[in-house]
Chain A
Amino acid sequence: MKGFLNKQAPYVFIAPTLILLTLFSIVPILVALAISFTDMDLGGLANFRSISFIGFANYAEVLKDPVFLKAIFNTLFYVIIGVPLVILFSLAVALLINLGTSRIFKAFRVVYYLPSVTNIVAVAVVWSYLYNPAIGLFNYILNSVGLPDVPWLTEPTVAKLSLILLALWKAIGLNMIIFIAALQGIPKSYYEAAQLDGANQWQQVTRITIPMLRFAIFFVSITTMIGWLQFFEEPFVMTQGGPLDGTLSVALFIYQNGFKFNNFGYAAAGSFVLFVCIIAITLIQLRLQKNESDMT
């Protein structure tokens, strides 16, 4: 019996989690997939019999919807600019903090982590004030050094960048502590050996630290990518997708169609388009990583 249990150990390890995930994620996703082929609206939600299957009509329509296409463009904009910045900054901050010797560096962990834990309602109130065109702190600072106002949230491209800045502020902390945890897992003996060989600090970072962090970097880049492809909270609380749909993300588009306008079928179709994109990008990432270091 014991031997059997031991043999089955990996399955025993993953079974409880898989059951829960199946019940509360995979089955609902399949249900949503089914919904995406229907014309379900509020009436359909109340009475399932009134739902009819309409094949790929939702998909055909959503892919032609100029608002959806704009949302895809915006989302790619967010991802292409935001993801590298998040990884770069959180890695840099983690390295600086980890290399610091003074006690003050420990305090920085808390400082940089704080934004990640802050309630989004509070974030919205505070940042709306910072970006405020009339009394906002940012414009005030710009004006006081003789620079003109910046239309933080009122010009489509600037607004996208402003939301990226906000998201960056919120995201660095979380990834930073993941990096710090990984940094602390690097055996000290490696550095000692390198020092004996006369490596300087920069060489230690590039030759030991970064390669040893590749599991963490891989994790952070995949989860950050997935997170940014689902960019939602920031435009939701700050701009509702405006101005002129300039900050509308795909996830927000889905939310607005599903929960504001009750077009559940249409929203589900939109989310499966997003789903396919995310899967494709993630698989590419997995494959690249595999070729590079054979670690997956």
Chain B
Amino acid sequence: MSATTAGQKGGLREREGGKTFQWVSGIVLTIGGLLFLLPFIWMILSSFKPEGEIVQIPPTLWPKSFTMSNFNYLFENMNFGVYLRNTLIIVLFSFAGLLLNAVAGFGFAKYDFKGRNALFVLVLATMMIPSQVTMIPVYLILNSLGLTNTMTGIVLPGLVGAFAIFLFRQFMSTIPTELLEATRLDGASEYRIFLQIALPISKPILAVQAILTFIAGWNSFLWPLIIANDESLYTLSVGLSLLKGQYAANFGLQMAGATFMVAPVIALFTYFQKHIIENFSISGMK
């Protein structure tokens, strides 16, 4: 009884003749899934098409002739190595931000302190203004701190975010207070309660947030471009956008760039859901 997985739950139901249900939902999901995948299939297949074929009418789905030239060109002509390194650095830093968000979410969820609601509304308010409006003020602040054209300047403004704090708060609210009280009576400090109780229980949501963090870092675009005065600080997304401008008519190359950006995310997500989301234990919640 230590793990809840879809498989075990379903196993109980099969007895109730849920087989039809399984089939129906499987078919519904398959049809929906195919529609969802269509744009990807087209994107990936297109990245292997030679330039002439991609603009052909009527379009082909399956490439008549496969070519790797788009990918080769991508690596020979763009600094994708440097961009990849920068992107990974940003991702790494944003994981530090992830912990800050978790800890703040915990604070808002499980403590009753003066001004909590007001402060929380303040946090929420920060996600209600379009980011374009605050871009120039943020830039001026970073400039006065001497952080333009630095990795710190790129990472810092996005380190914490209202969405993540809200997500953590929302899920940590479901941790039974009695559980925390019991640990407190055992003499644990608040910090230990967070590390040993709250964090492990929140694993599923940590995993979700980790994926979101990774993707945000992976796709970070406008800010690196604005802060960097040096191409050695560019990220993959900036590279992709340069590619779009420099080879505007070359769809194959753009598709190859886009494919290159999505593939690692697919790999990561597959890994995550296999090893982390499925295997967490929620015994603490019983």
A contacts B directly in the complex (CB < 8 Å)?
Answer: yes
Q: Does residue A83 face the partner (Cβ distance < 8 Å to B)?
A: no
Asked whether B111 lies within 8 Å of A10 as measured between CB atoms, the reply is: yes
CB <8 Å contact, A112 and B33: yes
Q: Interface residues of A toward B: which range? A: 35 or more
Contact of A6 among B18, B26, B189, B254 (CB under 8 A): B189
> Residue-by-residue, is B248-260 near A (CB-CB < 8 Å gives 1, otherwise 0)?
0001001100110
| Contacting residue for B255 out of A2, A102, A125, A259, CB 8 A | A125
Q: Which of A109, A118, A195, A259 contacts B258 (CB 8 A)?
A: A118
Contact of A17 among B21, B140, B165 (CB under 8 A): B165
Contact check, A267 vs B255: say whether CB atoms are below 8 A apart.
Answer: no
**Complexed CA–CA distance, A188 and B258 (Å):** 41
Residues of A within 8 A of B156 (CB): 20, 24
A-B contact count (CB 8 A): 287
Stretch from A58-66, A145-153, A212-220, A239-247 forming part of the interface with B: A212-220
Name which residue of chain B comes closest to A2, CB basis. B189
A114 near B111: Cβ-Cβ < 8 Å: no
| With A27-B137, A181-B204, A232-B130: A93-B100 Cβ-Cβ less than 8 Å | no
A135 is an interface residue with CB less than 8 A from chain B? yes
Q: Specify which of A20, A129, A216, A229 lies most central, judged by the most chain B CB atoms within 10 Å of its CB.
A: A20
One of A126, A184, A279 near B277 (C-beta < 8 A): A184
Complexed CA–CA distance, A188 and B285 (Å): 10
Known: A17-B103, A121-B240, A259-B132. A223 touches B163 (CB 8 A): yes
Task: Name the contact of A254 in the complex, choosing from B1, B107, B130 (C-beta under 8 A).
Answer: B130
Q: Are B36 and A216 in contact (CB under 8 A)?
A: no
Of A28-36, A49-57, A155-163, the segment with at least 4 beta carbons within 8 Å of chain B is A28-36
Which A residues are in CB contact (< 8 Å) with B16? 200-201
Binds A, one of B64-72, B73-81, B82-90, B205-213: B205-213
With beta carbons under 8 angstroms apart, the residue of A135, A189, A191, A259 that contacts B57 is A135
Q: Is the CB of B4 within 8 A of A186?
A: yes
Chain A residues contacting B225 (CB-CB under 8 Å) are none
A113 to B29, CA, bound (A): 13
Minimum Cβ distance to chain A for residue B1 (Å): 7
Instruction: Answer yes or no: B14 CB below 8 A from chain A CBs.
Output: yes
Cα distance, A118 to B1, chains bound together (Å): 38
Contact with B along A36-76 (1 / 0, CB 8 A): 00000000010000000000000000000000000000000
Asked if A101 contacts B254 (CB within 8 A), the reply is no
Q: Point out the residues of chain A lying under 8 angstroms from B212, CB to CB.
A: 174
Chain B nearest CB: distance from A45 CB in Å?
7
Interface of B is mostly: helix
A45 lies within 8 A of B173 (CB):
no
Contact B244 A14 (CB under 8 A): no
Cβ of A21 and Cβ of B269 under 8 Å apart?
no
Distance between Cα atoms of A93 and B241 in the complex (Å): 33
List residues 62-111 of chain A with CB under 8 A from any CB of chain B.
93, 96-102, 104-106, 108-111
A119 within 8 A of B: yes
Query: Closest Cβ of chain B: how far from A29's Cβ, in Å?
Result: 5
Does A23 count as interface, using CB distance less than 8 angstroms? yes
A165 to chain B, nearest CB (A): 10
Which residue in B11, B157, B170 is a CB contact (below 8 Å) of A216? Answer: B170
**CB closest residue in chain B, given A115:** B36
- The answer to whether A130 touches B265 (Cβ under 8 A) is no
By a CB distance below 8 angstroms, the chain A residues around B219 are 117, 119
Residues 108-158 (chain B) with a chain A CB within 8 angstroms: 108, 111, 113, 116, 119, 121-130, 132-134, 136-138, 140-141, 156-157
Question: CB-CB < 8 A to A123: which residues of B?
Answer: 39
Q: How far is the CA of A25 from the CA of B14 in the complex (A)?
A: 51
**A188 and B130 in contact (CB under 8 A), knowing A114-B40, A123-B39, A200-B16?**
no
Q: Any chain A CB within 8 A of the CB of B199? A: no
Closest to A250 in B: B130
The 0/1 profile, CB within 8 Å of A marked 1, for residues 36-63 of chain B is: 1111101100000000000001110000
Q: Which of A27, A134, A185 contacts B174 (CB 8 A)?
A: A185
Cβ A18 vs Cβ B104 within 8 A? yes
Residues of B within 8 A of A109 (CB): 273
Among A97, A119, A174, A223, the residue within 8 A (CB) of B237 is: A119
Give the CA-CA distance A203 to B211 in the complex, in Å.
33
A14 to B205, CA, bound (A): 19
**B196 close to chain A: CB less than 8 A:** no
11 more A-B contacts (CB under 8 A) besides A122-B259, A122-B261?
A6-B190, A17-B160, A28-B138, A32-B134, A96-B25, A99-B6, A100-B6, A100-B26, A181-B205, A191-B9, A229-B128
Give the 8 A-B residue pairs with the shortest CB-CB distance, closest first.
A13-B107, A122-B258, A101-B10, A9-B190, A28-B137, A28-B134, A10-B111, A25-B126
Between A and B, 7 residue pairs with Cβ closer than 8 Å are A20-B100, A100-B22, A111-B37, A181-B277, A189-B1, A223-B163, A275-B129
